[in-house]
């Protein structure tokens, strides 16, 4: 007997649809089909996979507006943010098509060490098998492509499980993948209930788990997965640093785009701002003035900058985080206003370095400002968090940039840009509890492959 779930639009609470969870027998049948699909993939040439992915990119481009509307209905993300996501998803698919043609190893002469001379090692890359690809709610299509694209390019088969909130957009994506030429025995959608996920993560017919989401789910996956290869893209608590030589107008614009877009629901959002004391007041005034003019409202309207967060519970959690910071002595420069699932852009000052809003990930449009005199003083504060994803700095002082690049616990430091800088082919991922491994198409292909060496 299958269980059902219903989806509502976070903006207006309208029912979007009712769906059935996958039964366990359905999941096992999908896995058996995908195991057969590994033989299909072995007989598919790289150029054929590249051509299929090129076709998928074209289909995603042709259906971008329809898909962007689905994303906005499901997540409350503004239509302009959803359109940007679709441009990124097309680029990630094109990159997957191009990388599918470039998966090559190397040949090694064995005489580097006297005892093994006279042989040549031909190092090849081979697919791991069936990849369980699990995606979060906030970028349902681009993050799905960052998993399905490289997994398929590498010759794997894929069991795809989005967040329940993204059922409609994800089913449409799978439909487009089939239309592009990915066979059903190579890609399968599933939506098991939470109670079946431990059993699924442990399933012997899953060879690797490629997960993007929060720490709690990642811990459950790691506990169940055993020796499976894990690729984990998790949370972030990314800093944006404004030095005394910063272009303050550009820095304020980046801070707004990297914190308030997507209602702050990005792993790489600028979740903490560190501003050098001599420019603090001027930067704060520019930031508050620009932020106060942002339009908060219907995410389907082109001029809306901030829509609702994913649900009321998320809004409540964000409000509690702000109230805790205020209880610790923080003051409100803007916002601290809530309406249902809406959290208005909120800027906090006089935030203590050890308050939760500085140490934990706040997945909403909340921007704590921290004034500093010496850049050395903020390094331990920035690193005092379980996360280490990306960072941004506005400065042209190369020695400061190089010093922070070496000292900050992050996977990427973006200069004169926000921590949310990302382009689809760069390596993407963090350290500590921000995850394990790297996405970014070429890097993800390697994560979902293994080397096989022929010695002749």
Ligand X SMILES: O=CCS(=O)(=O)O
| Binding interface with ligand NAD (CB under 6 A) | 134-138, 143, 161-163, 197, 201, 212-214, 217, 220-221, 233-236, 267, 361, 363, 435
Using CB under 6 A as the binding rule, whether residue 267 contacts ligand X is answered as: yes
Per partner kind, with CB cut-offs from 5 to 8 A, the member of ligand X, ligand NAD, none near residue 422 is ligand X
* Chosen residue from 93, 169, 268, 346 binding ligand X by CB under 6 A: 268
Per CB under 6 A, which region of 49-57, 250-258, 263-271, 348-356 contacts ligand X?
263-271
Query: What are the residues facing 369 on neighbouring strands?
Result: 273
Check residue 139 for interaction with ligand X (CB under 6 A). yes
Question: Would you say 155 or 308 has its CB closer to ligand X?
Answer: 308
- In the complex with ligand X, which residue's Cβ is closer, 37 or 213? 213
CB of residue 418 vs ligand X: minimum separation in angstroms? 10
- Residue 412 interacts with ligand X (CB under 6 A): yes or no: no
Q: Which residue is nearest to ligand NAD (CB)?
A: 213
- C-alpha to C-alpha distance for 69 and 84, rounded to whole angstroms: 12
Whole-angstrom distance, CA of residue 421 vs CA of residue 152: 26
Nearest Cα neighbor of 238 from 343, 330, 367 is: 367
Is 360 among the residues known to form the active site?
no
Q: How far is the CB of 321 from ligand NAD (least distance, A)?
A: 14
Residue 213 near which of ligand NAD, ligand X, none (CB within 5-8 Å, type-dependent): ligand NAD
Instruction: Report the alpha-carbon distance of residue 169 to residue 171 in Å, rounded.
Output: 6
Active site residue: 74, 185, 233, 276, which one? 233
Q: Give φ, ψ of 294 to 5 degrees.
A: -70, 140
Query: For 10, what's the count of Cα atoms within 13 Å in the CB-facing half-sphere?
Result: 30
Residue 9, binding choice from ligand NAD, ligand X, none, Cβ under 5 to 8 Å by partner class: none
Nearest residue to the partner ligand X, using Cβ:
267
Q: 424-455 burial, b for 16+ CB within 10 Å, e for fewer? A: bbbebbbebbbbbbbbbbbbbbbbbbeeeeee
The owner of tokens 């004034």 is 371
Q: Does 138 bind ligand X (CB under 6 A)?
A: yes
The catalytic residues are: 233
Q: Where along the sequence are the contacts to ligand X (CB under 6 A)?
A: 138-139, 266-268, 420, 422
């Amino acid at each position: 007997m299958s269980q059902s779930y219903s989806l509502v639009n976070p903006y207006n609470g309208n029912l979007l649809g009712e769906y059935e969870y996958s039964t366990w027998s359905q999941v096992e049948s999908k896995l058996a089909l995908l195991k057969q699909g590994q033989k299909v993939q072995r007989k598919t040439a790289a150029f054929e996979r590249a051509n299929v992915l090129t076709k998928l990119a074209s289909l995603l481009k042709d259906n971008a507006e329809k898909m962007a509307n689905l994303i906005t209905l499901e997540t409350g993300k503004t239509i302009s943010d959803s359109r940007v996501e679709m441009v990124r998803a097309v680029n990630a698919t094109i990159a997957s098509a191009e990388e599918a043609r470039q998966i090559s190893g190397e040949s090694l002469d064995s005489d580097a060490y006297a005892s093994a001379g006279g042989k040549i090692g031909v190092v090849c890359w081979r697919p791991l098998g069936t990849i369980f690809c699990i995606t979060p709610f906030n970028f349902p299509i681009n993050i799905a492509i960052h998993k399905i694209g490289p997994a398929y390019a590498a010759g794997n088969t894929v069991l795809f499980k989005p967040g329940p909130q993204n059922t409609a957009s994800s089913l449409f994506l799978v439909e487009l993948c089939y239309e592009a030429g990915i066979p059903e025995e190579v890609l399968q959608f599933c939506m098991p209930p939470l109670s079946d996920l431990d059993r699924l993560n442990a399933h012997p017919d899953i060879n690797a788990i490629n997960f993007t989401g929060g720490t709690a789910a990642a811990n459950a996956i790691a506990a169940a997965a055993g020796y499976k290869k894990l690729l984990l893209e998790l949370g972030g608590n990314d800093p944006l640093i404004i030095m005394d030589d910063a272009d303050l107008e550009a820095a304020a614009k980046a801070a707004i785009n990297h914190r308030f877009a997507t209602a702050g629901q990005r792993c790489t959002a600028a979740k903490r701002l560190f501003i050098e004391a001599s420019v603090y007041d001027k930067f704060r005034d520019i930031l508050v003035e620009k932020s106060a003019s942002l339009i908060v409202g219907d995410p389907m309207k082109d001029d809306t900058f901030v829509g609702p967060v994913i649900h009321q519970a998320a809004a409540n959690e964000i409000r509690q985080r702000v109230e805790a910071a205020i209880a610790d002595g923080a003051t409100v420069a803007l916002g601290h206003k809530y309406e249902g699932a809406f959290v208005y852009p909120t800027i906090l000052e006089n935030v203590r370095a050890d308050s939760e809003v500085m140490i934990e990930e706040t997945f909403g449009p909340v921007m704590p400002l921290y004034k500093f005199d010496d850049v050395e003083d903020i390094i331990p504060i920035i690193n005092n968090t379980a996360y280490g994803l990306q960072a941004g700095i506005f400065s042209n002082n190369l020695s400061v940039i190089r010093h922070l690049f070496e000292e900050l616990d992050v996977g990427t430091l973006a200069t004169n840009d926000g921590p949310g800088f990302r382009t689809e082919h760069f390596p993407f991922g963090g350290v500590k509890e921000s995850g394990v491994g790297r996405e970014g198409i070429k890097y993800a292909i390697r994560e979902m492959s293994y080397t096989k060496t022929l010695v002749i």
